[in-house]
Structure 1
Amino acid sequence: MSNEYRCNAARDAVATQFAQLEIPLRWTDTASPRPIDEPIKPTDRATMIRPIDPEIPRAGLEGADVRWWMVPYFHKGDVRSWKMMSTNAPLETVDTSPTFREAYKRRRALIPTTSFIEYAEPPGWKKGRPKTRHEITWPGGEIRYFAGLWDQSSPSDMADGLTSFCFITGPGCPDLAPIHDRTPAILTLEQGLAWLDLDGAGKAAFSEPAPAGAYTVTVSPREQIMSAAMRRALP
């Protein structure tokens, strides 16, 4: 499971990737004022890209900042009453779980990322103390994409409704085995476009774990972990 990530890339850089493949991408809102280096956490708004027509994703895409922590279409209570941790969708049950199966069939998306973050308990760790941060990147450092799902719900406390997303997590991989037994599906742009194809391989494309060497792990000892606000306050 991954519940923190970064996208240290401006929208123009994301759009350039699609333009190189002659795939139109339009933005339906203005970019968030969030500092570009600030980690994205559950319930934050973050960039999601989806097909304008799900049947022909390469014909055109649209992007916007929406809530990370998917609330499914059938939820009618207020947002806080949706208690299920649905930031990640397990690969094994994404096509059968009531929370995710309709989104898997019809509402796929791409979530731009430049790294994701996992935490672990260092030796001697005690409850209430910071955990060790592991920031995971990939060779080349280019923008990649989580295999995302999105949904539109009508919470009782949101008159305009709510668009929200999650992304797929699958088997662990050798590079991350000491940290976690799950790994998000991290895609190149071409792999991402294949994910958007509703007639394509779908979740079967992620059934095998990433090979050794696919990721680089940077460890931040707990005494070095600072919030974005703390970093910005440094002289």
Structure 2
Amino acid sequence: MCGRFAITLPDEAMVQLFGAAPANDLPPVPRYNVCPTQPVAAVISREGTRHYGPMRWGLIPRWYKHPTDGPLLFNARSETLAEKPAFREAARARRCLIPATGFYEWTKEGEARLPWFIQRADDAPLVMAGVWQVWHGPEGSRVGTCAIVTCAAVGGMAELHDRVPVILEPGDWALWLGEEGHGAARLMRPLPDGALAFHRVGTEVNSNRAEGPELIEPVSSPS
């Protein structure tokens, strides 16, 4: 799964990387502890044009009357993405890219929850596959919402957690966004073993209120 991540990459660099038109109200960066329900920046494609704009992390199905009417859907399992009522329409027609510097996972040592920071071994931006939905709230309000697609972990990553985000290579972005027709389902697989690097970080990140570059710095022992 992916329940926290960091995004430290400047908006200008992301707009250039994706060839997208930016929104005026992008979430601030850098952010070292992005949590579900917070705004994140995502890339969508409409009529051949890519847009880079804010979305609430946590997809709200169209039948929810209130964002808390059901479970918080911040992850979507690749194996059931096309079947679950909350995700199946988005899986077909509303897929997005969610960039990150890296994401966090936790292991347990006794009663302690030990956090790890995971990023690409080549230091490239980590681009996660997502699905999105515009939720129509009370009094005509409209909120763009999204979820990160996950798949089974392999190799060394599987020792940290059994799930990882689906991470897409640049050559796959257009297909995932629906710009190259059908076949996006084949992209829902983990990166090869060794493509991701990870290190222990301090337990300060266990608090969803923590923020700052020290959260992703390596530590050699539990803190």
Distance in 1 (CA, whole Å) between partners of 2:213 and 2:43 is 31
Q: Is the 8 A contact 1:150 1:166 kept in 2?
A: yes
Distance in 1 (CA, whole Å) between partners of 2:213 and 2:22 is 31
Residues 94-173 of structure 1 mapped to structure 2, 5 A cutoff: 94-121=81-108, 123-125=109-111, 131-156=113-138, 159-173=140-154
**Which amino acid letter does the alignment assign opposite residue 104 of structure 1?**
A
Cα pair distance change 1:196/1:223, threshold 3 Å: closer
Q: Is the 8 A contact 2:2 2:148 kept in 1?
A: no
Q: Is the 8 A contact 1:148 1:165 kept in 2?
A: yes
2:172 paired with 1:191? yes
Match in the other structure for 1:89: 76
Higher strand share: 2
- What whole-Å deviation, never above 9, does each CA across 1:77-119 have from its counterpart, x for those lacking one? 11222x2231111101101110000001111111111101111
Distance in 1 (CA, whole Å) between partners of 2:185 and 2:155 is 20
Distance in 2 (CA, whole Å) between partners of 1:66 and 1:135 is 23
Cα pair distance change 1:224/1:93, threshold 3 Å: closer
* Offset, 1:186: 0.8
Q: Is the 8 A contact 2:105 2:115 kept in 1?
A: yes
- What whole-Å deviation, never above 9, does each CA across 1:180-220 have from its counterpart, x for those lacking one? 1111101122222221126232222224x432211101112
Match in the other structure for 2:218: none
* Offset, 1:141: 1.1
The runs of at least 4 aligned residues of structure 1 exceeding 3 Å deviation read 221-226, 229-232
Distance in 1 (CA, whole Å) between partners of 2:86 and 2:71 is 9
- Percent identity of the aligned residues? 22
Cα pair distance change 1:18/1:8, threshold 3 Å: same
**Structure 1: gaps of 5 or more residues:** 20-24, 54-58
Residues 1-235 of structure 1 mapped to structure 2, 5 A cutoff: 1-19=1-19, 25-33=20-28, 35-53=29-47, 59-75=48-64, 77-81=65-69, 83-121=70-108, 123-125=109-111, 131-156=113-138, 159-197=140-178, 199-207=181-189, 209-222=190-203, 227-228=210-211
Distance in 1 (CA, whole Å) between partners of 2:45 and 2:96 is 7
Q: Is the 8 A contact 2:60 2:135 kept in 1?
A: yes
